[in-house]
Amino acid sequence: MRTFVRQTLNDNHVRGTTVVVKNGVPQQISYGYAWYGNNMGNGDPEITYPACSLQKVITAAIITQLINEKVGTSNHFSQYTTINRWYPDLKNSSLVTVGDLLANTSGNTVGNTEVDRDQDYTEQEAIDWIINDSPSGQIGSYFYNNANYILLAGIISKLTGKSYEQNFEDRIVNKLGLKGTYLYQDIPTGMTDPISYNYDYQTGKNYQNAVYVPSTLASQIPGAGNMFTTPMDYYKIQVALTDGTILDKDDFNYMTHVKSRVNNYAAGTYLDNNDNIKSAYGNLRGTHFGNWYQLTTDNKNGLIMFLNQTDDNEKDVKAVGYDILQHIKPNTFVAN
């Protein structure tokens, strides 16, 4: 398996680190450099990767925990609760539900959430930006937008009286004992995030066009793309979403099947093959990162792939991953 995965990454001129899961056993397989100039290899224990949109399922999970925790209290809410309770000044908030945010059907069409605004935002400043700049499209129609999950991060803070950051630490990182998972601002001394690169097809050179994730960009998207982790930590999170550690199977089903859902997406997760396959893709505009996971929903087989050298094409990244998935368990996964 190790030889096949590394050869597949090499043949497609991509670099990164993966976790291959076969029959319930996860195995980390890495290839190339995470930071070429410093000779730091992918998979180095000092590297933590941007999760990009793969963070969204965690934000959704914390919301689901709070739905359960607030039953019978004055703060009781559900997927059907309109968000004017927390955002009275947000356009159309009396019509948009928590479920709409989870399913990207809120009509929220804030543009350029991943264009670096060159300032370090606090969580509240990022949320205020979304509220102030929030144009609204048709509620009930699917439109993928980071703003939905930034607003969910704000709801988490308002419900708990603690920052999203603190909830993330308490409910995810500390709960699971994760050693390579942080929000950007909490990456400690001794750990570093990787550089992203392209392969130059004209010169045949790897590690070209080096770009990293600036703190300013990460600070714009709390709850939606400011998490850094490793593929193995991320696998532990995926398992914990259904084994009762973070959520149980009923909770996972609840958040991924909200009534607002109009396609196979909700709670940061795409479900396929009669809900037997789960997946998500993520990148950050202006960088060359490409993250994709696809797992069976029982977490027994699949792939988590964090690439830091790509050709900036989602379809190509998924094609590389699908080749590996076919090697893990043929005719099980979805080519998408």
Query: What is the pLDDT at residue 137?
Result: 84
Other CB atoms within 10 A of residue 259 CB: 13
Residue range 200-254, pLDDT digits in tens: 999 999 999 999 999 999 999 999 999 999 999 999 999 999 999 999 999 999 9
Residue range 8-23, pLDDT digits in tens: 999 999 999 999 999 9
Q: How far apart are CA 57 and CA 235, in angstroms?
A: 13
- Which of the residue ranges 93-102, 125-134, 233-242, 243-252 would you say has the lowest mean pLDDT? 125-134
Cβ neighbors of 88 (< 8 A, separation 6 or more) are: none
Contact yes or no for 52/289 (Cβ under 8 A): yes
Query: What is the pLDDT at residue 133?
Result: 85
- Beta-bridge partner residues of 271: 278
Q: What mean pLDDT comes out for the span 90-119?
A: 94
Query: What is the pLDDT at residue 148?
Result: 97
pLDDT band at 111 (very low <50, low <70, confident <90, very high): confident
Q: Is the pLDDT of residue 336 over 80?
A: no
Here the tokens at position 4 are 């096949």
Q: How far apart are CA 290 and CA 272, in angstroms?
A: 21
Q: Three-state DSSP class for 244?
A: coil
Q: How far apart are CA 136 and CA 90, in angstroms?
A: 10
**Averaged pLDDT of the chain:** 97
Query: What is the pLDDT at residue 250?
Result: 98
Q: Is the pLDDT of residue 134 over 80?
A: no
Q: In what order do the strands lie in the sheet with 49-50?
A: 49-50, 227-229, 182-183
Q: Is the pLDDT of residue 41 over 90?
A: yes
Residue range 274-295, pLDDT digits in tens: 999 999 999 999 999 999 999 9
DSSP state at residue 107: -
pLDDT band at 136 (very low <50, low <70, confident <90, very high): confident
